[in-house]
Structure 1
Amino acid sequence: MNGNLGTPRSVIVVGAGPTGLLLAGDLAAAGVPVTLLEKRPRKISNLSRAFGVHARTLEQLDARGLADPLIATGDTITGLRLFRRLTLDLGTLPSRFPFLLITPQYEVERLLERRARELGVDFAHESEVVGLRQDDTGVDLAVRGSDGTVVTHRAAYVVGTDGHRSAVREAIGLPFPGVSVIRSLILADVRLAQQPEGVLTVNGAGDAFAMIASFGDGWYRVMGWNRRHEVSDDAPLDLDEVKEITRRALGTDYGMHDARWLSRFHSDERQAPKYRVGRVFLAGDAAHIHSPAGGQGMNTGLQDAANLGWKLAAAVQGWAPEGLLDTYEAERHPVGKAVLRSSGGLVRLARAHSPVLRAVRALVSAFVNMAEPAQRKALAQISGLGYKYAAPRGSHGLTGTRIPDVALKSGRLHEALRGGRFVLIAPAGSYEESGDRTNRLTVERWAGDRRTTVLVRPDGYVAWAAENADATAVETALTAALGH
C-alpha cells in the first residue's frame, strides 16, 4: 500500500466488485487519491451471478467511454418475456441503448478494473477490514494484510462496497433487515448439446423456474429453483438435479453436459436503514440486496457509485455545497427501496402457485401488455431510465431527471460528460464562463435552436434548468451547484 492511505484528503473504498471499481475510478479521474481494498486475492472470477446490463447503466458507462467496448463482449436483446404472457419491448426505450445487454459480470469488472488502474487507483488485495473508528476530520481503518499484520490507515472518507456481508457496515453498527425471498437457488456453468433459441431463455412452470444465459464462448450459465426441493446452501448439488429443474421449467435440458461449476445459494431482500454514518458510506450490495428478478442488483450498485463519486470528490477538494453529501442517501435510498419492491414483486409472481395468485399474474400480464402507460412505466423502472431525484419546489420540470444523450454542437452529451465535470448546455451566445470553475464545468451549446439552459451533473441528472435564462440566473445556479 502506498501513501494514499495515510493522507487526510483521500478516500478508501472497500470491495473491488463492480460498484467499488466504478467508484474508485471516478474518484481517481477527479484527482482524488484513492485506495481500493479487497479481501480476496487479485482475480476476476467467472462465477459471478449478474448477467444483464440495463440501458441506464450503459448510459453511465458511455459517459466514461466504456459502453461500446462492453457491448462488444456480449449480445443484446430487445424483448423480455416473463410468465409466458408478459412481453416488454425494450426497443422502445428512449435511449441510445434500447436493449438489455447480456454479458457476464466479469466482463464489466475487467473494463472497470483496467480503467481504475490506468487512472492510478491504488489496489490492495488480500486486505481485510477488521476495525473502524472515525472522528470529525477522518476515518481510521484497521486492515489485516496477507501476512496477518494489522495496520491502521487514515482517510477523509471510507466507502463500503464489500457485498452483503459487509465488514464496513458491521463496523459502523448498521443492521441489514430483510427476508429470504427464495430459500434455495441453483447455479451451474454447463455446455449444451442443443443451442437455445435466444441469448436469454427464461420461464417458470408449476413449481420450477429456470434461466439459461450464454457466456458467448460455448459455456452457459443456468439458474433455477424447485419449490418442492428447498435445501440449505451447503447441500450437495449434481448435474442431474440441474437437468431436472431445467426440463420442468423449460421443457428440455438442451442436452446439458460437462458442468464446470455447481452451487446453491439463497436470495434475500435486505436494505440498510442508512447509507451514511458520519464519514462512512455504503453502496451496492453492502447497502441493498435484491432478488435476481429483473437483473437489477449490479445495475443499482453501479448507479450508487455514479451518484456518490462526484459528490465525494467535491467534498475532498473543498468545494462541495453545504449538505451535498447528504443527498447521496436522500437520492439513492428510495431507489434501492423501489428496486427491492419491484424485483420482489416479480419473483413472487413468478413463484405464484395458488389459483388466485396465478389469476393475478395473468391479469397483470394482460394489463401491461395492452396498456401503453403501464408498459412504459415497467420499462422505465427495470431499465433504470425512469428514476427521478427530488427537486426544490418551483423548479423547472427537468430538474432531478436523467437527461438523454442529447446532441450538442461539439458532439454528444455523454462525450461531454467524460471529463467528470458539470456540463452547462446553453443556447448559442447566451453565456460565457469566465470564472475559475473550468476544472468543474464544461460549457456546451445545443446542436439546434433550443432556448432552454440546462446544468447537468457529472452523473447525468439535471441540477438546474430554465427557459430563456439571463447571465445572472445562470451565475446564481452555478454558484449554488459549484461554489464560487
Structure 2
Amino acid sequence: MLPMTDVLVVGAGPTGLLAAGDLAAADVSCTVLERRKGESNLSRAAGVHARTLEELDARGLADELVESGLPVDKLVVFGRARLDLSGLPTRFPYMLAVPQYRTEALLESRARRLDAQIVPGAEVVGLRQDADGVDLDVRTREGEARTYRARYVVAADGVHSRVRQLLGLSFPGRSAVRSVMLCDVRLADPPPDLLMADAVEDGLAFVLPFGDGWYRVIVWDRRNPLPDTAPVELGEIRDVTRRVLGTDFGMHDPRWISRFSSDERQVPHYRAGRVFLAGDAAHVHSPAGGLGMNTGLQDAANLGWKLAAVIRNGAPASLLDTYDAERRPAGRKALRTSGMLLRAALARPRTPGAVRRAALRMAPRIPPLAGRMARSLSGIGLAYPAPRGSHPLTGRRAPDLPLAGPGRPTLYQALRTRRLVLVTPPDVWLPVSLIAAWRDRVDVAAAGGRTRRLVLVRPDGYVAWAADCADPGVPTDELRAALAAWCGPPLAAVPL
C-alpha cells in the first residue's frame, strides 16, 4: 500500500506554499514536492497588489509582509502618466514593492508551522490517476525512486510544469517578448518617483524600489534581441535605461542579474480529473502590470478552501468544478491586461499599438477611467460569474466590513478562522438550529453598520450568497440551500 495523503502539491513557489498552508490550516494532510534542493534564489516578481494583500490579511500575514516592503501608491507609466492607487477601497491602497523571496519565506514559514510537509529535491517523473486518487512517481535528490499517492494533486510547478506535460495538456499561446533583462542594483541617484516605467521605439525600462536601498530594474532592447542564455552585463542595462528614461540613476553593485523571455499562454482547462493546475503551470504572461505571482496566489486562495470543504466537510464534489469556472476567466483577463500594456509599450509610431499607448497615457487623467484601471490592476475589481437570478453581490469581492462585538473588528480578521462567515444585520435574529447545523464550518458575525442584507462570505473573501432581509425576518430556506451547497451537509445530530 502506497503512503496516502489528502493532497500533493507540486512546487514550493508562492502559489504552492499558499495552497499548502490553507490545506494544512483546514486539517487536510498535505505534502509539497519541490524539485529545487536549496533555498529560493532572488526572483522576478517584485510587487504584491492590493487584492493579494487582502487575501494575505485573511490569513493574518499581510501586516508582516507590508513591514518588509515599500508601499507604492502612484505608478509613473508611459512618461508623465501617473496612476494613483491611493483611492482604492481597501486597507491596502497601493502596490507593495517586495522581493518574491520574502513573500515565499513568509508563506513557507506558515505552511511548516501548520504541519504541511515540504520535500525538497523531489522531481516528479510519472503520473497516474484512477477513481480514488493520483499516484506520482518521484526521483529524490539522492537518485532514489519513490511513489506518492494522494486524493488530489495541485500542480503549481511553474511555466515548464512537468505535471502538465505528464497529463498531456496543451499550453497554447505565443511569444510575448524575448530577451528581457533584469537586475537588482543600488542607485547613486535614485528617481524622485517611487515607480517609473516608459518606452521608446527601440526599448523599454522599469525601475522599482524595494525600500531597503535596492532597486529592481527591468529593460528590453529591440535592437539587440539575444538568446536567454547570453550573458548580461550591467553596462547593457545602463545603456537601455539611459535611452528610455534619460539617465541610468548611477546604478551599481548588482546582486542579481538575468535575462529571460515571456510567453502568453494558458491551459484550456485548470482541472484534469483529480489534478488541478495553478499559477504559472496554468497561465503565463509578460511582467507588464506585475500580475503573474498575484494571479497565481489568487488561484491558490480560490482552490485551497474548496478542496478542504470537499475532503473534510463533505461538500458536493461539484464545488471543485467552480475552480476552473472562476479562475480560468480570471487568468484570461490577466493575459489580456498584461498583453495590452506590453504591446502599447512596445508599439512603433503610427501603428494601432501607438494609438492604444496614447489612450493609456490619457486614461489616468480621466477619473472614471483611472479608477477602472486601478481596480483592474490591483485585483479589487475582479468578480466571479454568478448563477442567473442571484443577488447582485454574489461572486463579488467582499470589502473588509466593520463587525459588531469584541475581538472581531473587521470581516477579514473574522476570515482568519478559514471558515465561511455569515454577516447579518445587527438586529436580525437567526434560528439557533439553523446556525448550529453548520457550527463547525460557518461563523456568524453581525455587521457593525446599518445594513439589511445577509451575506455569506467565502474563506477567499468573495460573496457566496446574499439576500436582502425584508421584514419580518430571514429567507431561511434559501440560506439553508446556500449553506449546503458551499459548506456540505448539516450536522446530522442537529434538528432542522
Q: Name the structure 1 match of 2:20.
A: 24
Q: Contact between 2:78 and 2:361, CA under 8 Å: does it hold in 1?
A: no
C-alpha displacement of 1:103: 0.8
SS at 2:93's partner residue? coil
Q: Name the structure 2 match of 1:416.
A: 414
From 106, 109, 117, give the equivalent of 2:112. Answer: 117
C-alpha displacement of 1:465: 0.4
Q: Name the structure 1 match of 2:85.
A: 90
Q: Name the structure 1 match of 2:9.
A: 13
C-alpha displacement of 1:481: 2.1
From 221, 224, 228, give the equivalent of 1:233. Answer: 228
SS at 1:267's partner residue? strand
* Cα separation, 2, equivalents of 1:287 and 1:119: 26
Identity of aligned residues (%): 53
SS at 1:392's partner residue? coil
From 472, 481, 484, give the equivalent of 2:486. Answer: 481
Q: Give the letter for the 2:414 counterpart.
A: A
C-alpha displacement of 1:381: 1.2
C-alpha displacement of 1:77: 1.4
Q: Name the structure 1 match of 2:429.
A: 430
* Cα separation, 2, equivalents of 1:169 and 1:49: 22
Q: Name the structure 1 match of 2:198.
A: 203
* Structure 1: 5+ residue stretches without partners: none
TM-score by length of 2: 0.93
Q: Name the structure 2 match of 1:470.
A: 475
* Cα separation, 2, equivalents of 1:434 and 1:266: 52
C-alpha displacement of 1:311: 0.7
* Cα separation, 1, equivalents of 2:479 and 2:275: 34
C-alpha displacement of 1:353: 1.3
C-alpha displacement of 1:379: 1.5
SS at 1:317's partner residue? helix
* Cα separation, 1, equivalents of 2:312 and 2:357: 54
* Structure 2: 5+ residue stretches without partners: 491-496
Q: Name the structure 1 match of 2:494.
A: none
Tell me if 1:275 matches 2:273: no
1:125-164 aligned within 5 A: 125-164=120-159
C-alpha displacement of 1:474: 2.3
1:36-435 aligned within 5 A: 36-46=32-42, 48-357=43-352, 359-361=354-356, 363-365=358-360, 367-409=362-404, 410-427=408-425, 428-431=427-430, 432=432, 433-435=434-436
Q: Contact between 1:42 and 1:125, CA under 8 Å: does it hold in 2?
A: yes
* Cα separation, 1, equivalents of 2:349 and 2:443: 57
Does 373-382 or 172-181 show the bigger shift?
Answer: 373-382
Does 93-102 or 434-443 show the bigger shift?
Answer: 434-443
Q: Give the letter for the 2:376 counterpart.
A: Q
Q: Contact between 1:54 and 1:383, CA under 8 Å: does it hold in 2?
A: yes
Q: Contact between 2:315 and 2:485, CA under 8 Å: does it hold in 1?
A: no
* Cα separation, 2, equivalents of 1:187 and 1:479: 49
C-alpha displacement of 1:438: 1.9
Change (3 A) 1:290 1:470: same
Q: Contact between 1:139 and 1:279, CA under 8 Å: does it hold in 2?
A: yes
Q: Give the letter for the 2:3 counterpart.
A: G
Q: Contact between 2:187 and 2:249, CA under 8 Å: does it hold in 1?
A: yes
Q: Name the structure 2 match of 1:442.
A: 443
C-alpha displacement of 1:143: 0.7
Q: Contact between 1:430 and 1:470, CA under 8 Å: does it hold in 2?
A: no
Does 277-286 or 402-411 show the bigger shift?
Answer: 402-411
Q: Give the letter for the 2:447 counterpart.
A: W
* Cα separation, 2, equivalents of 1:24 and 1:299: 16
Q: Contact between 2:127 and 2:166, CA under 8 Å: does it hold in 1?
A: yes
* Cα separation, 2, equivalents of 1:52 and 1:434: 40
Q: Contact between 1:85 and 1:365, CA under 8 Å: does it hold in 2?
A: no
* Cα separation, 1, equivalents of 2:268 and 2:224: 33
* Cα separation, 1, equivalents of 2:212 and 2:252: 15
Cα RMSD after superposing both structures: 1.7
Does 20-29 or 70-79 show the bigger shift?
Answer: 70-79
Q: Contact between 1:203 and 1:250, CA under 8 Å: does it hold in 2?
A: yes
Q: Give the letter for the 2:477 counterpart.
A: T
C-alpha displacement of 1:322: 4.2
Does 389-398 or 214-223 show the bigger shift?
Answer: 214-223
C-alpha displacement of 1:190: 2.2
